[in-house]
Structure 1
Amino acid sequence: MSTHRFKAMGCEVVVGGASERDSAAVTRLFEALESALSRFRPTSELERLNASSAETVIVSPLLASALDDALRAAAATDGVCDPTIADALRAAGYDRSFEQIDTPAAAPPVPAGRWREVALSGLLVRRPPGLRLDLNGVVKGRAVDDALALVEGSGFVSAGGDLATRGELVVALPGDDTVTLRAGALATSGVSSRAWRRDDGATAHHLIDSVTGAPSTSPWECVTVCASTCLAADVAAKTAFLLGDEGPAWLERRGLAGRFLTHDGETVLAAGWPTTAAEIACT
């Protein structure tokens, strides 16, 4: 299967089985999303919204759709996945793209949990001025789903730890394991590739506990979830990670297969994740 690779959203994107035309369309999709929704681009529409002093702002359909995804994720997870963590991320040192982070200064955490103060009606966004939003919790997963829809026939799209496929695919997992994905999507959320050391010697990462505003102290190194869409898998993986010890039970209640990897390399499986390098399908 032919593959097309490019950089976007701070990771390598791989498109498999696509024609040259389809690959170009996928590249344009990721570029458009990053240009409009990046927290690290002062000219992005998201950052213009964050900087606006108006209580109500008219936004583009693209931003409205992403914000709708984020608010739905917050409601479905009771605020565990929270789009109002932008200031908490900045306080943790994640104020620029990951490859540019050096040794940020320590700063007090900024509790979030304010997603209920954000209202979306069509293209109108209403929130308290000064409440900054971060949509990274949903944008990449939705991008993978939308990108796969641009690929005709069998193929796959992978972006960092997010992947969706139309056709059987062997997927490498953290901890030197594999699984054969026959349908659906996988998403992995964890701290092994998105962590840094602050000037006070503390290690920080991008997975924020919205209650404390500090990087999560979850016992997991990473969590991988299988779902029918990459967006659903991504939200579930983040939520299961942030819920810590309660993560496996949370997935079990929702019938979502998950694989948890501890910092010591041990695995915990949930909701029918195969015990060996076997097949799994998410529909």
Structure 2
Amino acid sequence: MVNKVNRRRALVGGAGRSFLGIFAVWVCLASLGCTTRSDRATTRFEFERAQMGLPFRLVLYTPDGATATNAAEAVWTRISDLNAILSDYEAESELSRLSRSAGTGQWIALSPDLAHVLTTAGEVSRRSTGAFDVTVGPEVQLWRRARRQRELPSPEVLARAREATGWTNLLLRHRASAWEAQLVRPGMRLDLGGIAKGYALDEAAKVLRGRNLPRFLISGSGDMVAGEPPPGESGWRIEVGVFDVTNAPPPRFVSLRNVGLATSGDTFQRAEIGGVRYSHIVNPHTGIGLTDHRLVTVIARNGMIADALSTASSVLEPKVALKLANEFQAELLILREPADSIEELASPGFRRWLNTP
């Protein structure tokens, strides 16, 4: 749930790579309570668009519909441009071209966007000792096939995929005013699924702030970036911690302002193989989907860090994940189900974001 003004639920859970359909906009008129007495020139607008194969949603406050529509189109254009750079699905994306250079010994010049994402990914990989790893592409491809076929990959096939991974095999260097990358091992394939969405949300927020539109919430599946809150509110009220197990603790709400939030879990994307529940999230150290059923929520200074930390925290032991979050000055909530019990762990500062009715 977003804000009290809007009674529809936010796009807060994994929705897979589904296409929402045509562009839509809803205008909430001032007479219906979308503005306050001190801010009557600002009206709430909502937009949805499928981007990066995911449903994106934008809520913003502007003086008029034309301003809102123009801002939304600028946001969608920026995200679409980033998809052409960061996608591992698009054969001619910059990322895919970089992956095709694997094993050649070539240093490939990077655009500023790809360089920023890869350098940030490298830092998270280093601090998480590889729990977050954008070179996991061959393992992810193999695991997608295993989920479709409901059959684990053979040890031999898995070993070949793992030979083409490893975050230390992605080399980065800064030359003059540009970054370059080299993929050391043949067959390497980069997958930015655990970080690109968060960066796209950050860039969307930058577009809006650049237009002097500070009041917004933009979300893409389970990730979001919040700007200034709606008029008269202290923050954007977001529901988190919806755990799909019996006797789960009740969901709670956080109040967000100028931060990023990301969630990771297998509530919507999982597979049962041989009686074992596997997540779509791959452990880079094994090449197999996670079997530790957990739901992770991260609040960080921006969407990219929140996105990457939520993936890493799904792989790491909970206490190690809490330490990692602290290194990035982020807050973390983990709900997990070891055996038949429910375990909850939260960073010390997570409580200050909680919002009670």
Contact 1:248/1:269 (<8 A) preserved: no
Alignment correspondent of 1:98 = none
> In 2, Cα distance between the equivalents of 1:265 and 1:127?
41
Report the CA distance between 1:224 and its aligned residue: 0.4
Correspondence for 1:107 among 153, 162, 168: 153
> In 1, Cα distance between the equivalents of 2:136 and 2:48?
31
CA distances 1:156-209 after superposition (whole Å, capped 9, x unpaired): 1111111111122010214233222233121111111222346x6654433222
- Cα distance 1:260–1:118, how it changes in 2: closer, same or farther (>3 A)? same
Amino acid at match of 2:214: G
1:69 aligns with 2:120: yes
> In 2, Cα distance between the equivalents of 1:132 and 1:234?
20
1:229 aligns with 2:295: no
TM-score normalised by structure 1 residue count: 0.84
CA distances 1:36-63 after superposition (whole Å, capped 9, x unpaired): 3222222322222222363213343333
Alignment correspondent of 2:40 = none
Alignment of 1:48-197 (within 5 A): 48-52=97-101, 54-56=104-106, 57-93=108-144, 102-103=148-149, 105-108=151-154, 109=158, 110-111=161-162, 114-121=166-173, 122-128=178-184, 129-151=186-208, 152-166=213-227, 167=229, 168-175=235-242, 176-197=251-272
Contact 1:241/1:247 (<8 A) preserved: no
Correspondence for 1:271 among 331, 342, 348: 348
1:4 aligns with 2:56: no
SS at structure 2 position matched to 1:83: coil
- Cα distance 1:184–1:102, how it changes in 2: closer, same or farther (>3 A)? same
Q: Identity percentage over the alignment?
A: 23
- Mean Cα displacement is larger for which, 256-265 or 166-175? 256-265
- Cα distance 1:50–1:40, how it changes in 2: closer, same or farther (>3 A)? same
> In 2, Cα distance between the equivalents of 1:68 and 1:259?
26
Report the CA distance between 1:26 and its aligned residue: 1.1
- Cα distance 1:201–1:218, how it changes in 2: closer, same or farther (>3 A)? closer
CA distances 1:203-254 after superposition (whole Å, capped 9, x unpaired): 443322221121223342x110111111122222222221133245425743
- Cα distance 1:4–1:116, how it changes in 2: closer, same or farther (>3 A)? same
SS at structure 1 position matched to 2:73: helix
Contact 1:118/1:127 (<8 A) preserved: yes
- Cα distance 1:241–1:11, how it changes in 2: closer, same or farther (>3 A)? same
Amino acid at match of 1:27: W
Alignment of 1:10-29 (within 5 A): 10-17=53-60, 19-29=68-78
TM-score normalised by structure 2 residue count: 0.68
Alignment of 1:176-255 (within 5 A): 176-197=251-272, 203-220=277-294, 222-247=295-320, 249-250=322-323, 253-254=326-327, 255=329
> In 2, Cα distance between the equivalents of 1:250 and 1:217?
22
Instruction: Structure 1 unaligned segments of length 5 or more: list them.
Output: 96-100
> CA-atom RMSD, angstroms?
2.7
Q: Which protein is bigger by CA-based radius of gyration? A: 2
SS at structure 2 position matched to 1:188: strand
Number of aligned residues? 272
Amino acid at match of 2:105: E
Contact 1:37/1:46 (<8 A) preserved: yes
